[in-house]
């Protein structure tokens, strides 16, 4: 969802599901507040976790006001439980398309009758919702369930994809965990290049939610997307976990409460 | 898959992820409730059993929320140590699963949970037994601090938050009001200094019990946590709603059995401080 849909597209292409290509963005994180209050944001756009701002009237709100005056802000709800309702009800209420993301998963149900990409394709076609294609999640799930990640990406309706997520997972031995705590590895960049080729170019977000680096380092990691699109793979192999697998958290959220005052 | 089957699987999964105890206990409870075993539900393969796969979810669920609790209660964690903190915070998130979409609500009931699960301290001598009261009190103070950080403040209202001059204080025309971020606490220990030195990275000695009054507020996005005197506490309380300063002072004087003129003299000195700490503002 875009705060201000009139923001110009990054590439001048027609909008998809009414949403423009915003270019390269990162999540707005408390740890970077001091930096962002003093420097130009550098990146093309920011993502915020909606729930962190709905009832926060402290410094975070002040930073958001500054950032939103300078760059487009995309709101991402992660615990509002709207992903499990009929998207049409939310879309009718908000009068804008909902954009739904593919998750990282660690199990499949025996009852399952369709593949995940088939389900998402059907969902997008039937409801008109947009898709947020997290290529890191595709890679993690493909590894954990033994499906073909490239086939998954190729199988989606590309006209419905409005945003791509990048992140670095952790190799816990026999499975991968979606830890968002390190650089994007080579196989994920490979899927990214493929997805951008198929979509023709959509908004890209780098997710980094634990062991968050300083802002300049984060921006440098994001800029590797340009290298990847140029045909050169900027990534390293997936990082192997040094911690016990039991201490590895998928999809960390603790960053949301980290102090970010001046 | 039928709607009914889908609903059953969702409830089973929720029971497994949010249930009490280790994985075996969770699975047993979910099987009793929904009549499903892990191996019937979860596809195995790639060398990973149904239990291992479920373990990523059950472990991640608690750890994820634990990390939030650690972020909201750093001084308490430093005081009781990681193992004890994780045991209590882990029990808390399982006993009182989060019901709000906002993570800010997660720690709201933690102080009362600690109060209710406080060990009895049988066999401990008096001083040590009194120490068992400290964790819930410290949790109350840290929770209040977290609330102040996110509450509505007075940053957008510079005129209302400009400190009054002594002339205004004595001039009878001033109407004051607590800021929306003011929090008042009556504590069993002097924990304000304790909290400040914990935040400074020290590991302070636990203080001896002493009834303490604390006020928390925010100005210019800085949180202020201060120990206040009984008359100051009573005055802040009397300002919950907009009140002429003299009315609030009379109420405070009555509360602490002081002469109003004496309080007025003290208030002339302290009111600017209360404004600078974001405790009070001029009434709208
Ligand atoms: Fe993502």
Domain boundaries, chain A: 24-80+96-106+113-257
- What is the three-class DSSP state of B132? coil
| Inter-chain residue contact A247 with B152, CB threshold 8 Å | no
Q: What is the pLDDT tens value at each position of chain A, 262 positions in all?
A: 334 444 556 777 777 777 899 999 999 999 999 999 999 999 999 999 998 898 899 999 999 999 999 999 999 988 887 777 888 998 999 898 899 999 999 999 999 999 999 999 999 999 999 999 999 999 999 999 999 999 999 999 999 999 999 999 999 989 999 999 999 999 999 999 999 999 999 999 999 999 999 999 999 999 999 999 999 999 988 889 876 666 677 787 777 776 655 4
- What is the three-class DSSP state of A254? helix
pLDDT for the residue numbered B277: 98
8 A C-beta contact, residue A190 and residue A233: yes
Contact residues on chain B for A141, CB-CB shorter than 8 A? none
Average pLDDT over residues B250-269: 94
CA–CA dist B227, B193 (Å, integer): 8
CA–CA dist A234, A220 (Å, integer): 11
User: Percentage of residues in chain B with pLDDT exceeding 90?
Assistant: 85
pLDDT for the residue numbered A259: 64
Contact residues on chain A for B34, CB-CB shorter than 8 A? none
pLDDT for the residue numbered B246: 94
Burial class (CB in 10 A: 0-12, 13-18, 19+), A196: buried
* Residues 111-170 of chain B whose Cβ lies under 8 A from any Cβ of chain A: 146, 149-153, 155
Question: Beta B175-178 vs B243-244: how paired, if at all?
Answer: antiparallel
Average pLDDT over residues B75-79: 96
CATH number for the region A24-80+96-106+113-257 comes to: 3.20.20.150
Range(s) within chain B of domains with CATH label 3.90.930: 150-282
Q: Which residue has the higher pLDDT, A192 or B166?
A: A192
The residue behind tokens 């033994």 is A146
For the cut 90, the answer to whether the pLDDT of residue B124 exceeds it is no
Q: Which of B46, B47, B48, B149 to mutate to test the interface with A (most CBs of A within 10 A)?
A: B149
For the cut 80, the answer to whether the pLDDT of residue B133 exceeds it is yes
Q: Is the reported ipTM for this assembly greater than 0.95?
A: no
Residue A3 main-chain phi, psi, to 5 deg: -65, -45
* Residues 38-67 of chain B whose Cβ lies under 8 A from any Cβ of chain A: 40-43, 45-48, 50, 52-57, 59-60, 63-64, 67
pLDDT for the residue numbered A5: 41
Residue A112 is encoded by which pair of tokens? 């399952």
pLDDT for the residue numbered A4: 46
**Number of residue pairs across A and B with CB atoms under 8 Å?**
116
pLDDT for the residue numbered B9: 96
Q: Which residue has the higher pLDDT, A1 or B121?
A: B121
User: Residue B135, CB half-sphere, CA atoms under 13 Å: how many?
Assistant: 21
pLDDT for the residue numbered B24: 94
pLDDT for the residue numbered A245: 63
pLDDT for the residue numbered A262: 46
CATH number for the region B150-282 comes to: 3.90.930
What residue in B sits closest to A246 (Cα-Cα)?
B59
CA–CA dist B185, A115 (Å, integer): 55
**What tens digit of pLDDT does each residue of B206-236 get?**
999 999 999 999 999 999 999 999 999 999 9
């Amino acid at each position: 969802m875009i705060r201000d849909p009139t923001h110009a597209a990054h590439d001048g292409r027609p909008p998809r599901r009414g949403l423009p290509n915003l270019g390269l963005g990162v999540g707005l994180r408390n740890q970077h507040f001091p930096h962002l209050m003093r420097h130009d944001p550098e990146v093309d756009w920011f993502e915020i976790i909606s729930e962190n701002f709905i009832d926060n009237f402290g410094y975070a709100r002040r930073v958001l006001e500054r950032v939103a005056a300078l760059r487009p802000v995309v709101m991402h709800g992660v615990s509002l439980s709207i992903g499990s309702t009929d998207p049409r009800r939310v879309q009718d209420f908000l009068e804008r398309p909902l954009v739904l993301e593919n998750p990282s998963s660690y199990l499949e149900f025996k009852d399952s009758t369709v593949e995940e990409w088939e389900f998402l394709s059907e969902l997008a076609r039937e409801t008109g919702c947009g898709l947020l294609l997290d290529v890191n999640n595709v890679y993690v799930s493909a590894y954990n369930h033994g499906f073909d990640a490239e086939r998954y990406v190729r199988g989606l309706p590309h006209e419905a994809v409005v945003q791509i997520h990048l992140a670095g997972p952790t190799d816990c031995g026999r499975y991968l965990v979606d830890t968002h705590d390190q650089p994007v590895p080579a196989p994920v960049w490979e899927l990214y290049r493929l997805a951008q080729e198929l979509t023709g170019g959509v908004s890209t977000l780098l997710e980094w939610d634990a062991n968050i680096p300083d802002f300049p380092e984060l921006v440098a990691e994001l800029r590797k997307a340009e290298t990847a699109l140029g045909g050169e793979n900027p990534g390293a192999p997936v990082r192997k976990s040094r911690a016990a697998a039991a201490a590895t958290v998928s999809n960390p959220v603790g960053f949301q409460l980290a102090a970010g005052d001046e | 898959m039928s709607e009914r089957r889908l609903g059953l699987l969702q409830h089973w999964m929720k029971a497994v992820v949010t249930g009490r105890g280790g994985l075996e206990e969770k699975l047993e409870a979910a099987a009793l409730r929904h009549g499903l075993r892990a191996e019937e539900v979860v596809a195995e393969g790639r060398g990973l059993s149904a239990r291992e796969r479920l373990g990523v979810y059950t472990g991640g669920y608690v750890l994820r929320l634990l990390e939030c609790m650690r972020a909201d209660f750093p001084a308490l964690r430093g005081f009781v140590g990681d193992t004890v903190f994780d045991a209590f915070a882990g029990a808390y998130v399982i006993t009182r699963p989060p019901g709000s979409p906002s993570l800010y609500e997660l720690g709201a009931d933690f102080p009362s949970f600690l109060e209710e699960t406080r060990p009895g301290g049988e066999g401990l001598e008096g001083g040590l037994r009194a120490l068992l009261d400290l964790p819930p009190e410290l949790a109350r103070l840290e929770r209040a601090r977290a609330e102040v950080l996110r509450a509505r403040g007075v940053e957008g209202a510079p005129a209302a938050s400009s400190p009054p001059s002594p002339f205004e204080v004595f001039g009878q025309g001033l109407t004051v009001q607590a800021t929306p971020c003011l929090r008042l606490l009556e504590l069993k220990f002097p924990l304000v200094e304790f909290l400040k030195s914990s935040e400074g990275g020290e590991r302070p000695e636990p203080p001896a019990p002493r009834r303490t009054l604390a006020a928390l507020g925010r100005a210019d996005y800085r949180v202020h946590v201060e120990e206040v005197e009984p008359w100051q506490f009573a005055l802040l309380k009397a300002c919950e709603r907009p009140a002429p300063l003299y009315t609030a002072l009379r109420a405070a004087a009555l509360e602490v059995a002081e002469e109003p003129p004496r309080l007025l003299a003290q208030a002339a000195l302290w009111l600017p401080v209360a404004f600078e700490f974001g405790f009070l503002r001029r009434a709208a």
